[in-house]
Amino acid sequence: MQKILKQNFYKHDTLTVAKDLLGKFVVRKIGGKKMVGKIVEVEAYCGPRDLASHASRGKTERTKIMFGHPGFAYVYMIYGMYYCFNIVTESHGYPAAVLIRAVESVNDRNHRENRRNVINHIPATNGPGKFCKAFRIDKKMNGVDICRNRARPVPPLWIEDRGMKIKKADIVAAKRIGVEYAKEYKDKLWRFYIKRNEWVSKK
DNA sequence: GTGAGGATGCACT
DNA sequence: GTGCATCCTCACG
């Protein structure tokens, strides 16, 4: 059974949505072809007071998507050459999002080899920048509604529930990556990943 | 195996 | 002008 997640899935507490996204599947449609990846690692960025979040410095041209409706893609460029893909959560007007850090490629069996780089023409997806590159997610996807709705039934990108359940005991909570500047928020255990999964970006 | 440093564009001060 | 929600390469041994 496969179903595209709708807006009400994302309209909840960000930490809850982040954990619920583990084990869901990212589907990217490009010219009639589909790429699929199981989400194995995420980070939560929780509201205007979270100093690690871009939204903590107020609503700007870049961050306005986070202040908008849940279930929209927030994509931005980082370090000049990589993109990060986030999904907006919670209510309209409250800036929060979940960063997709790593997925497990469903098309590929050579897990160990593929972790490092391109093997058998299938790009690596164990890291936010690499995932975006592999799934061709760039700033054109910023502000796209990734939910199913009547007006536009098939977005170019969506999240699917295929009935996989991740046990609570298999979810690891850890510190977020690259947010040393975030003072009392830098040590929050708001990164979640599937225990022992080979595709997680860092141990 | 591990760690340091560079690449690189753009939002924000 | 500064500093990134990153990743790769190249030393080291």
Domain boundaries, chain A: 3-194
Distance of C1' in C9 from CA in A117, Å: 13
3-state secondary structure of A55: helix
- Cα–Cα distance between A50 and A27 in angstroms, integer? 29
Q: What are A86-119's pLDDT values in tens digits?
A: 999 999 999 999 999 999 987 644 444 444 444 4
User: Which residues are registered as beta bridge partners of A34?
Assistant: A29
Q: What are A18-61's pLDDT values in tens digits?
A: 999 999 999 999 888 889 999 999 999 999 999 999 999 999 99
Provide the whole-model pTM: 0.91
- For residue A31, count CB atoms less than 10 angstroms from its CB and return exposed for 0-12, middle for 13-18, buried for 19 or more: exposed
Q: Of residues 93 to 152 in chain A, which lie within 7 A of strand C by their beta carbon?
A: 97, 99, 116-117, 124, 127-131
CB of A77 nearer than 7 A to strand B: yes
CB of A81 nearer than 7 A to strand B: yes
pLDDT, position A123? 72
CB of A184 nearer than 7 A to strand B: no
pLDDT, position A107? 63
Is the domain A3-194 a CATH 3.10.300.10 member?
Answer: yes
| A176 nearest nucleotide via C1' and CA | C5
User: Which residues are registered as beta bridge partners of A43?
Assistant: A99, A191
pLDDT, position A114? 43
What secondary structure, in 3-state letters, does A86-142 show?
EEECCCCCCCEEEEEEEEEECCCCCHHHHCCCCECCECCCECHHHHHHHCCCCHHHC
CB of A78 nearer than 7 A to strand C: yes
